[in-house]
Amino acid sequence: MMTQHPELTALGWTPWLEQHAACDPSQSIARVAAVDRDQLLLVDQDGSFRAKLAGSFLHRHRLSHELPCVGDWVCLERRPGDDFGIVHGVIERRTSLSRKSAGNAVEHQTIAANLDSVMVVQSCHFDFNLKRLERYLVMVMDGGADPYILLTKTDLVDPDVLAEQLAEIHGIGLMAPVLTLSNLTREGLDDLERTLVPGKTYCFVGSSGVGKSTLINHLIDRDALETGRVSATGEGRHTTVRRELIRLDGGALVIDTPGMREFGILGAGYGIESNYAEITALALGCRYRDCTHGGESGCAVRAAVDANEIAREHFESYLKLREESDFNQMTHAERRKKDRDFGRFIKSAKKDLRDR
């Protein structure tokens, strides 16, 4: 049954989610604002409330990435007078940001879901590093969100240094929009705020100390910070859950989780792009964000292979690895289907390469 939920638009609800939601007509929809062990803090048009996962849901979903994370949308049952909502399902994620658990290819942890854009933050003072920037951009794009590059602490470097860094970013063909700012002088803060679209969801990733917290504090005013803390008394105990999905005064949504902060360190061991840095860097220059390099127009990777700037075998092994990586991130049903489709695609991509 198709229902519209205009009341949820301000929280990030979209037609795509509407199409992919498979909630029971008796269930309502809410977004996950924080996860606190076995409890969830949810928000809907009426405000925030707590919820727990239905036993049947836990029984069916044992992998960590199948459990709700901040930014997820869930189907729930909520009876008047109940302290807790009961979550019966997680609505398919449009995008996500995840990291692999060490030593396990299938098990990976989703840090945040349904992000529209991810701002990859580097400080132009000491922290600036193109290779690491590429790695972050690839991780963001792998999860389906649009990347932005944000250089902070512009007050600490000469304008020449900043100009040189911008030239380097453009020089390797990165297509993500670049913003610069100083949390100290607040120069560039207005530009960033203008970039944030109401109803869209953002997060900031980057190494520790680049100024993410300072920036988010600038974006949120004190009032929002206070209301962001939700206290609730239930079952004789008092809990305070720090809300990680924040709605700014301008209407944009920002996800700020501790997991996001660690993302930089833990994400660094990520596999594919370290060996295929040139390819993934080139991929950022492809016309389509979701380019598979399988023959789309404006494909920067194919162009480089054709120009012999990248060895064909190298490209083929990249495709192979990419296939495995994508495969690992899918559900079992998706896998059975994609296994066949992607097999055909790889075959035709290879044949295509040989035929040239």
**Distance of alpha carbon 112 from alpha carbon 147, whole angstroms:** 15
The answer to whether the beta carbons of residues 243 and 48 sit under 8 Å apart is: yes
CB closer to Zn ion out of 90 and 282: 282
Query: What's the Cα-to-Cα distance from 330 to each of 55, 93, 144, 323, 326, rounded to whole Å?
Result: 24, 12, 14, 11, 7
CB closer to ligand GTP out of 96 and 183: 183
- Does 301 help bind Zn ion (rule: CB under 5 A)? yes
Residues 178-197 that bind ligand GTP (CB under 6 A): 182-184
The answer to whether the beta carbons of residues 84 and 268 sit under 8 Å apart is: no
CB of 291 to Zn ion, least distance (A): 3
Structure tokens at 308: 């012999």
- Does 210 help bind ligand GTP (rule: CB under 6 A)? yes
Residues 224-263 that bind ligand GTP (CB under 6 A): 261
Among 152, 180, 201, 257, binds ligand GTP (CB under 6 A): 152
Structure tokens at 21: 């939601």
Among 147, 211, 228, 259, binds ligand GTP (CB under 6 A): 211
**Distance of alpha carbon 88 from alpha carbon 300, whole angstroms:** 43
The secondary structure of residue 176, as a DSSP letter, is S
The secondary structure of residue 117, as a DSSP letter, is E
The answer to whether the beta carbons of residues 70 and 113 sit under 8 Å apart is: yes
Count CB atoms within 10 A of the CB of residue 298.
Answer: 11
Residues 276-295 that bind Zn ion (CB under 5 A): 286, 291, 293
- Does 156 help bind ligand GTP (rule: CB under 6 A)? yes
**Distance of alpha carbon 125 from alpha carbon 122, whole angstroms:** 8
- Does 299 help bind Zn ion (rule: CB under 5 A)? yes
Assign 40 to helix, strand or coil.
Answer: strand
The answer to whether the beta carbons of residues 141 and 98 sit under 8 Å apart is: no
- Does 141 help bind Zn ion (rule: CB under 5 A)? no
Only segment of 159-167, 172-180, 188-196, 299-307 that touches Zn ion (CB under 5 A): 299-307
Name the residue with the smallest CB distance to ligand GTP: 211
- Does 138 help bind Zn ion (rule: CB under 5 A)? no
Binding site for Zn ion (CB under 5 A): 286, 291, 293, 299, 301
Binding site for ligand GTP (CB under 6 A): 152-153, 155-156, 182-184, 208-214, 261
Residue list for the binding site for Zn(2+): 286, 291, 293, 299
- Going by the annotation, the residues of the binding site are 152-155, 206-214, 286, 291, 293, 299
